[in-house]
Chains A and B, each alone.
Chain A
């Protein structure tokens, strides 16, 4: 018997329900407003009253309206056909809705129940299996999509029967499993999972060790993120957060990309809808949209569903990770999610924490980040979720609760600087304030010295020093004047400019420069290291700027040229000649 209740109070999208029976925290209920069913989630229970957050507008709702509880938490539907779809925060397929406007109380099935999938069994009758074990696979776009033992199955099971090769719909029976007590359970290609709980169908979660190539030099070279790592990008508006996230979603070396557009501009999502079906993924030669799933809960869509959207995205990522895939999960912006929490906490008249955010905000954020990671599955294969979230700090001030809480949870910090953005030095990631904790990992050091080169980290450290010393020299020049400092200060400053222009700055709109493979990054870092180490002599400061500007221009042309092409070689020769001539002086 499911619990029923009646509406007792309404404050915006917080509704208080008098219940006759048991209710669970986070249980889903429906408010029966005439022929419209409003979905809501229990967020607090007090005596006989449940406080529920409604995922829709409550306009017109009346006292005494009937409420039906469902007995389950907010769940997503997992099965073949998720990729390339555009979902809202509650996993409704946005393309299936009719009409221009989103109507209240409209929900739909997130997958296609009639589509046929070519099933290929991987398990055999008699096999011992457990939650997450691969029973078979279908090909989704180009991805081998594993059909798994439902994550909700506890303990071990024996495959009693599994269907043969053939075409099936997602809800067709494809296997029968027997549990330890001898009961039989039917399995289809689709299963459900509550979004607020992590999927733990893996053996171990280990420390990340492998660098995830993003093609963005200021990230890969200076502060790399790892497969299964976490990072965040805080920055004031107008600093290029979104351009950077879009670049990551296009270029990163991941099998699949899940994007949670959480409380941000609708036109930015439209940009992905418009461009991704056209863009080609260089690694697979497939359309980018084929590896991308978008959870769009833009800023004008219901606030409570904004919170759900990040969990929906994470659960979908965990589902694909269990298939042994490499997932990149992006959330833009986690501040909007935190604000949704704040709005509810405020309506429930909870005692507020800093800036009126709920007291448990740091716990909620770190709990979410902890769901990313590199895992070894029970069958020995590996999978990963790399998570990068953006943060939109109020007033661009990084000393605010969301940024501070996230800083504790994420291992990479990519600070976008207003100053760099104002001077059009994109991507505006501040090379000195930003960090990657992964550079301190022995596992990562070992990987880098084998995969890139043993002296890589030393060179990267050196480049960072050059940037710091360049900044100091620039300050001295500004205070004392061009001729008030030794010529050497100018050289120091311009060496840091070489690093800035050639490694840090990257043209996101140029076909070649927008993505730099690690191999090419190594080549350029070596080149820049040579320049940094060169003892360049000048007679007066007037010569310095001109010479370096010319050098930077030639190096920049290298960045714009196809790697190893005749132009590339020509510009490189130009650079080398400049170096030998001057060093001879």
Chain B
């Protein structure tokens, strides 16, 4: 932690203490400035007359009214330099991996927004090898997209796979309320893949105080901006789990007596989340920041304020689902959506991409209808039976998250399945594509 110097004034008379904040009479304090209260980091959140209210990131447990309070005269900063690469840091940007202290220049976190006219339209495909993503919901650099997942789903595994396959120059992991096991999982996975020097991680585990999490996304994105702007690198930021972040927001706003809006979330939730997600950007000179996040749901409810506000901000969302028939987790083709996919589909991928994607999803939907029909006790037609067989294969060979093939192979697999179960008329794809790609019988 930053050492206090001899010139700083020490305050020793707190006027108010709540579970997350404390107040003190002080002069000359800047808004959002940092302070240290009995060795704990705190930040100014309110100044009224001469009373300054601070949120103490580590919580106020055991803080006495005569605690020593020193203002640091600066907002939260991260030391940025190339030596960030390969480091595991805590929410304050301090090493937790036993390595040396960071040496770079101090940079304010949560900095200004990119001028929209200086952005470039995202246009570079990110290949993950997972067909549920590459084929149906193609990701693009500069995009921001969350997994909407129930806590029991393997989203951390999928994120780790995506991160390693994405060919990013840097992977920045922002872990909020991560269980210690998941933290170690990420660490081991990256280490085993020999990717450690591409990783920068900011970790707040469930063992750390919740309010500390509020610093994690800004820390991660400050590091991302350093590499994307100054080094022109392709940076992938993983934020898990944003629901934990939003929960921390609501704790603080509650302690500050703010009137809650929907689902007890602060009224500013949309703006708070947008400030983070909108850091995703494609710069004209090649650097980019792509954000893949996780928003855990409660019982699949996407109307809750956290996923709802997220959905309005992000460019699509990915859903995982367990397909009982094949016993695997798949990327749900119906509810998942990548809003930026049309920027690359058929442009950076094969001409038949859009048609194969749409036709297979339509046939998969027909299968779902057939299943409902069957459950309601109606007889199935020959076509219904074939769609059910197709759906099983499609799920197994393309949607399952353990698939790892390139996009051309995904398209070829698609055509193979069409030919196996349907006639070209039933698939209803443009005639010239059928002629070119429909596998011949033998």
- B261 contacts the other chain (CB 8 A): yes
CB-based contact A10/B47 at 8 Å: yes
CB-based contact A61/B48 at 8 Å: no
CB-based contact A238/B258 at 8 Å: no
CB-based contact B114/A397 at 8 Å: no
- B378 contacts the other chain (CB 8 A): yes
**Cβ contacts A35-62/B at 8 Å (1 or 0 each):** 0000000000000000000000111111
Stretch of A247-255, A293-301, A371-379, A451-459 that contacts chain B: A293-301
Contact A11 to B29, CB < 8 A, known contacts A263-B274, A269-B116, A273-B116: no
- B417 contacts the other chain (CB 8 A): no
CB-based contact A343/B116 at 8 Å: no
CB-based contact A100/B116 at 8 Å: no
Question: Which of these, B31, B116, B283, contacts A10 with CB under 8 Å?
Answer: B31
**Cβ contacts B268-300/A at 8 Å (1 or 0 each):** 101100110011010100000000000000000
**Cβ contacts A1-27/B at 8 Å (1 or 0 each):** 000000011111000100000000000
List B contacts of A394 (CB < 8 A): 262, 303, 305, 308-309
CB-based contact B305/A11 at 8 Å: no
- A104 contacts the other chain (CB 8 A): yes
In the complex, A271 Cα to B140 Cα: how many Å?
14
CB-based contact B29/A63 at 8 Å: yes
In whole Å, how far is B15's beta carbon from the nearest beta carbon of chain A? Answer: 15
Nearest opposing residue in chain A for B32, CB measure: A59
Counting contact residues on chain A (CB < 8 A from B), the size range is 35 or more
Nearest opposing residue in chain A for B53, CB measure: A11
Question: Which of these, A64, A274, A296, A339, contacts B270 with CB under 8 Å?
Answer: A339
Question: Which of these, A59, A270, A336, A423, contacts B121 with CB under 8 Å?
Answer: A270
Majority SS at the chain B contact face? loop
Question: Which of these, A10, A64, A266, A395, contacts B114 with CB under 8 Å?
Answer: A266
List B contacts of A100 (CB < 8 A): 114-115, 118, 229, 283
Contact A303 to B75, CB < 8 A, known contacts A8-B49, A10-B31, A104-B112: no
Q: Which of B271, B304, B315 neighbours the largest number of chain A CB atoms within 10 Å of its CB?
A: B271
In the complex, A481 Cα to B373 Cα: how many Å?
9
CB-based contact B311/A238 at 8 Å: yes
- B119 contacts the other chain (CB 8 A): yes
- A94 contacts the other chain (CB 8 A): yes
**Cβ contacts B179-216/A at 8 Å (1 or 0 each):** 00000000000000000000000000000000000000
List B contacts of A381 (CB < 8 A): none
In whole Å, how far is A423's beta carbon from the nearest beta carbon of chain B? Answer: 8
CB-based contact B46/A60 at 8 Å: no
**Cβ contacts B93-112/A at 8 Å (1 or 0 each):** 00000000000000010111
Counting contact residues on chain B (CB < 8 A from A), the size range is 35 or more
**Cβ contacts B7-32/A at 8 Å (1 or 0 each):** 00000000000000000000111111
List B contacts of A273 (CB < 8 A): 116-117, 121
- B151 contacts the other chain (CB 8 A): no
Nearest opposing residue in chain B for A400, CB measure: B262
List A contacts of B59 (CB < 8 A): none
Question: Which of these, B112, B303, B334, contacts A396 with CB under 8 Å?
Answer: B303
CB-based contact A266/B275 at 8 Å: no
CB-based contact B378/A481 at 8 Å: yes
3 residue pairs, one from A and one from B, having the closest CB atoms: A395-B303, A299-B274, A300-B278
B-side interface residues toward A, CB under 8 Å?
A: 27-33, 45-50, 75, 108, 110-122, 142-143, 229, 258-262, 267-268, 270-271, 274-275, 278-279, 281, 283, 302-305, 308-309, 311-313, 315-317, 334, 337, 339-340, 342, 365, 378
A-side interface residues toward B, CB under 8 Å?
A: 8-12, 16, 57-64, 86, 94-95, 97, 99-104, 236-238, 263, 265-267, 269-271, 273-274, 296, 298-301, 303, 333, 336, 339-340, 342-343, 346-347, 349, 352, 355-356, 392, 394-397, 422-423, 481-482, 509
